[in-house]
Structure formats: structure tokens, C-alpha cells
Amino acid sequence: MSIKYEKKDVYSTMEEQDLENTNLYAKSYMEFLDKARTEYLAVEEAIEILENNGFISIEEKDYLEPGDRIYFVNKSKSLYVAVIGNDDIVKGVNIVGAHIDSPRLDIKPMPLIEKSGTALMKTQYYGGIKKYQWLSIPLAMYGVMYNKDGEKIKIAIGEDENDPVFTIADLLPHLAKDQMNHKAESFVDPEKMSVIVGSLKDKDSTESEKVKQNILRLLNEKYGVEEIDFARSEISFVPALKTKFIGLDRGLIGGYGQDDRVCAYATIRAIIDSADELGESISKTNIAMIVDKEEIGSIGTTSMNSRAFDMFVNKIIEKTNSLGVDKLEVYYNSRVLSADVTAGINPEYEEVHDIQNGSMIGCGISVEKYTGSGGKYSASDANASYMSEVMSLFDRNNVIYQVGTLGKIEKGGGGTIAYILADKGCEVVDCGTPVLAMHSPFEVTSKYDVYMTYLAYKAFYKD
């Protein structure tokens, strides 16, 4: 047996049954990804899966007993889930936390304009994107809107076979001489990232902007909304691209929003399946959460920083009759997997990765001791003792993992929700699926890493 550390490629180690399980899991994940296009929809989809597996809203329960399966929805955009354990809660809980917001183009509060025969919606990008990747691709429109009577209207256009799509028309190369001389960072003016939503005039209108007027008329007929109602909406454009297998050997998955819905889906499936497998013997309380606003710094009511999570833990303390238990002590004794994706080594950009300390596609879930940038600035740095605990746990359960960092020092950097839970006093380590082309409209993962991510979280909940 070699004492040298070497990455293992998951596929080559798998038996027939594992390969089949991987394909089944990948298929259900891809279906989830195609539906969970926004944080709203990710929450809806997750609730449907949870309710089909015996989970109910915590509000429906006055008392909680071991084995109870509950969830709490925080303002439609983040979700906390728990399976109650037999152990006293003060001994700590197991938490896996992922995020469900992904980079996209949000509309401005007053988005609709008319220019040169087209109706356009002005956008503001959400999260860190390379702007040029979002030009001249099909886009779908998703979101919620309220009318003046306060009724909520759901919008989903562009994914159905018969739906139209939308697009930002990039400049043709023939006239792009000036544009092409700019640096990639600045050649796309964010104020020009307007999405074409129409081109036909309202012939009967007496208004000056007849194309814009026609779009307003169509929206009014279909949804009963007026222009001012955009100010009470959250509407986003996301890539209208179906999730697909990549490669002749179908080993990879390509799709929008895998950061971080790949870990979010694994978290939800793992808390359900671990509860089924543990039954009444569950010892610690397990918690899963899928939260919003990670991509813009975890700020706001539906982010990990929201005190709504503390409120959820308070409710569990109350309803399990653990009154008098200090929530801070619960956190102090708890352990967390911060379930977020990381950079896979890009085959054509190996130079930005530290290969030995990078995550290779297909070599399992990546455990990252620390994130941050430069001199570990803003890093959540896991304790060695906790690294040891998690690595032993994975070894015992045949979870194939690799140790990684995001990339070479000072080439960039990034963070996750890990530091927020670390601040509460929990033991935390980052642990998620490697991704190529992260934050692009078509992110790439290995289906074997995707499946291993689920196995890792399930093993953690069952430990």
C-alpha cells in the first residue's frame, strides 16, 4: 500500500451497481436542475421532494420527537430542514448548508425601453459573471411580479418547447473593431446588456413607443400587470439551455446553475435518504439548508447571515422541550459541511491552478480546508482536528474525496457561507463538487463527483 497521496478517479473504482446508481442519481439531479431555475423555484422543488418523503412545515407541529421531519421556508427564497435526533440538542447537530442563488441577469426596476424598432429590458447582472458569455445566447425569463391588488404572479417563459426565448444581441464582428480593442473586462458595457423582448408595433396605439406599448399590452392581457408593477417584481433572465450529458462517453454534466444547486440537491436528497436509512436509531439532529444571496456576499433576509436561521434553531429547542438550552452552546458543539462547489482544474488553463492542491474533475468530492484569497484573507480555515474527523468519516464510508484549493495564490479567490457558521462557533469545512466554467451559462461537472457529493453528505448525516 502506497503512503503517497494520489487522487483516485471515481469511475475506475466503481462496480456495476455503483455505476447504475450514479446514472439514476444524475438523471434525477438533471431534472431538478432544469426546474430549479431560480431560488424561488429551487425552494418549491425542494419542498415538493421533501413533502413526498414525509416532511411537514414546523408550524404544523407543537412538539417535536425523534424521527420527526420538518422544514421552515424563509420568505420563499431559503429553506431550513431538520430531522430530529434522539440525542440532547445541546450535544450539537449535523448541518449541511448549500446555496440556491446563481449568477444571472436581473431586470432593473423600470426595465422596459424602446430603441430602433425593438422593445428591450434593461438588466443588472447578479453575481460574478464574465459578461461576454451572456451575449447572443437564448435566455428564459423567470420570476414573480405583484399587481396593484397585491396578487402574486409567477412568470416562466422560455423553457417549454413552444415558448419563445429572449436574447442580448451582440455586435457583429464586421463593426466590432472598436469593441474588440477593449479589455475583456470592459468591452461589454453593463448598461448595454439589454434583452430583446419584442419587435412588433401596437398598430392601434396612439402612444409614441408602439413596440414597447405592444409588450405592455401583451403583459397586461396575460398577467393583468401595468408598467409600474415591474417595480414590485423579481424577474431574471437565465440561460434557456437544457441540462445535458457532455462527451461521447457521457461522463460529464453540462447545465446552468450547478453552482450551487448541485450541492443543494445533494443536501436535500442526503437528509431524506439518511433519515430513511437511520429510522428510529437517529442520534444527532440533522439539519439541511439551502440559502439565497451567497453570490452577492450573503447579505439580506434570505441569506445565510439572516437571523432567521437562529429563529429556526430556537423553534427546535422550544418544540423538543429543550428549554433553557443555550443556542450558542448548540452551535459550539455542532459540525457543518459547507456544501459549495469549487473550481475544477481547467484542462486548458492549468497554469492558474496548483495542480497538486487542485480538484480534478472525476476524482470525487473536494474537501477544502480553507478558502479566501491572498494571505488567507477572509478565509474560513477548518481546524486540523475537524479535517481529521471528516476525512476519517469519508474513509470509513468509502466516499472518494480529494483535497483542494480554489486556485493559485493571488490568481483570484472566493468564499462561501462557511465563515458565517464558523462565526457562530460551529466546526466547518468546505466540501463540494468541482466545476469547470463556473458562473458561465453552461457549467460542467462530472456525474461521478455529483454522485459522490450526495454519498458524502449522506455519510455525514448518518455518522
Q: Under the rule (CB under 5 A), what is the footprint of Mn ion?
A: 259-260, 340
Query: β-strands 342-343, 434-435: how paired?
Result: parallel
Query: Quick one: 194 or 380, whose CB is closer to Mn ion?
Result: 380
Task: Give whichever of 103 and 364 is closer to Mn ion, judged by the CB atom.
Answer: 103
Q: Residue 72 and residue 82: Cα distance in Å, rounded? A: 9
What DSSP string describes 113-169?
EEETTEEEEEEEEESS--GGGGSSS-EEEEEEEE-TT--EEEEEESSSTTS--BB--
Question: Among all chains, which residue has been given the C-alpha cell 439532529?
Answer: 285
Rounded distance between C-alpha atoms, residue 410 and residue 324, angstroms: 47
Beta carbons within 8 Å of 377's beta carbon, 6+ residues apart = 413
CB closer to Mn ion, 224 vs 300: 300
Shortest Å, Cβ 125 to Mn ion? 13
Q: What's the chain's length in residues?
A: 463
- Asked if residue 381 lies in contact with residue 370, where contact means CB atoms within 8 angstroms, the answer is yes
DSSP string, 189-249: -GGG-PEEEE----TT--SS-HHHHHHHHHHHHHH---GGGGGGEEEEEEE----EEESTT
Closest distance to Mn ion from the beta carbon of 417 (Å): 9
Q: How far apart are CA 22 and CA 13, in angstroms?
A: 13
Shortest spacing between CB 24 and Mn ion, in angstroms = 25
Q: State the minimum distance, in angstroms, from the CB of residue 96 to Mn ion.
A: 14
> Are 238 and 428 in contact, with CB atoms under 8 Å apart?
no
Q: Is the separation of the CB atoms in 123 and 138 below 8 Å?
A: no
Minimum Å distance from CB 372 to Mn ion?
A: 14
Query: Which residue lies nearer to Mn ion by CB, 329 or 381?
Result: 381
* Shortest Å, Cβ 261 to Mn ion: 9
Q: How far is the CB of 341 from Mn ion (least distance, A)?
A: 5
| Closest CB 233 distance from Mn ion, rounded Å | 24
Identity of residue 405: T
| Residue 355 CB, nearest approach to Mn ion (Å) | 22
Task: Give yes or no for a contact between 90 and 187, defined as CB atoms under 8 angstroms apart.
Answer: no
Q: Cβ distance 397 to 274 under 8 Å?
A: no
What is the C-alpha to C-alpha distance for residues 33 and 123, in angstroms, rounded to an integer?
Answer: 23
Whichever of 92 and 441 has its CB closer to Mn ion, that residue is 441
DSSP 8-state code for residue 181: T
Question: Quick one: 402 or 433, whose CB is closer to Mn ion?
Answer: 433
